[in-house]
Chains A and B, each alone.
Chain A
Amino acid sequence: MLEIKTLCAKINETDILKGLSLTVKPGEIHAIMGPNGSGKSTLSKVVCGHPSYEITGGDVTIDGESILEDAPDVRAQKGLFMAFQYPVEIPGVHNGNFLRMIYNAKRKATGLDELDPLEFETFLQEKLKMVEMDDLFLERAVNHGFSGGEKKRNEILQMLVLEPRFVFLDETDSGLDIDALRIVSKAVNQYKNTQTGFVVITHYQRLLSHIVPDVVHVMVDGQLVKTGDKSLALELEEKGYDWLLT
Chain B
Amino acid sequence: MDAYLQILFRDGILVWENCPPFVSLRQEGDDVYVEVSEDQSVVGVVRYQTGGCIRWHVDVQKSARFSLISIQQKQCSLDDTMVVQLQENAHASLHWMVAELSTFTTKRQVDVFFHGPHSNFQLYGLHVMSEQASVETKTHLRHLAPYTTATQQVKSVLFDRATSLFSGLVHVEPVAQKTDSNQYNHSLILSDQARAISKPQLEIFADDVKCSHGATIGQLDRDEWFYLLTRGLSDCDAKSMLLTAYCQEIIDTIPIEDARDRMMHTLLRKLATV
Contact residues in B for A87 (Cβ distance below 8 Å): 227
Cβ contact within 8 Å between B227 and A73:
no
Number of residues in A with C-beta < 8 Å to the partner? 31
Cβ contact within 8 Å between B235 and A88:
no
- Total inter-chain residue pairs, C-beta < 8 Å: 73
The reply to whether the CB of B269 lies closer than 8 angstroms to some CB of chain A is no
Cβ contact within 8 Å between B232 and A90:
no
Contact residues in B for A45 (Cβ distance below 8 Å): 226
From known contacts A73-B229, A84-B227, infer whether A92 and B234 are also in contact, taking CB-CB under 8 Å: no
Contact residues in A for B221 (Cβ distance below 8 Å): 88
The reply to whether the CB of A220 lies closer than 8 angstroms to some CB of chain B is no
Contact residues in B for A201 (Cβ distance below 8 Å): none
From known contacts A91-B248, A92-B249, A93-B244, infer whether A158 and B231 are also in contact, taking CB-CB under 8 Å: yes
Cβ contact within 8 Å between B235 and A71:
yes
Q: Name the one of B222, B232, B248, B249 contacting A76, with C-beta atoms under 8 angstroms.
A: B232
With both chains docked as a complex, state the minimum distance between the C-beta of B216 and any C-beta of chain A, in angstroms: 15
Contact residues in B for A7 (Cβ distance below 8 Å): none
Contact residues in B for A80 (Cβ distance below 8 Å): 230
The reply to whether the CB of B241 lies closer than 8 angstroms to some CB of chain A is yes
Cβ contact within 8 Å between B235 and A73:
yes
The 8 A CB mask of B239-274 against A (1 = contact, 0 = none) is: 001101111110000000000000000000000000
Contact residues in B for A73 (Cβ distance below 8 Å): 229-230, 232-235, 238
The reply to whether the CB of B17 lies closer than 8 angstroms to some CB of chain A is no
Q: Which of A47-55, A175-183, A189-197 contacts B (4 or more CB under 8 A)?
A: A47-55
Q: Name the one of B223, B226, B232, B241 contacting A109, with C-beta atoms under 8 angstroms.
A: B232
With both chains docked as a complex, state the minimum distance between the C-beta of B188 and any C-beta of chain A, in angstroms: 14
CB-CB nearest 7 A-B residue pairs:
A92-B248, A92-B245, A72-B229, A76-B232, A88-B227, A102-B231, A73-B229
Name 17 interchain pairs, CB-CB below 8 A, sorted by A: A48-B226, A48-B230, A49-B230, A51-B222, A72-B230, A73-B233, A75-B230, A90-B228, A90-B242, A92-B247, A92-B249, A93-B241, A98-B241, A101-B241, A102-B233, A109-B232, A162-B231
Interface residues of A (CB under 8 A from B): 45, 48-52, 71-73, 75-77, 80-82, 84, 87-88, 90-93, 98, 101-102, 105-106, 109, 141, 158, 162
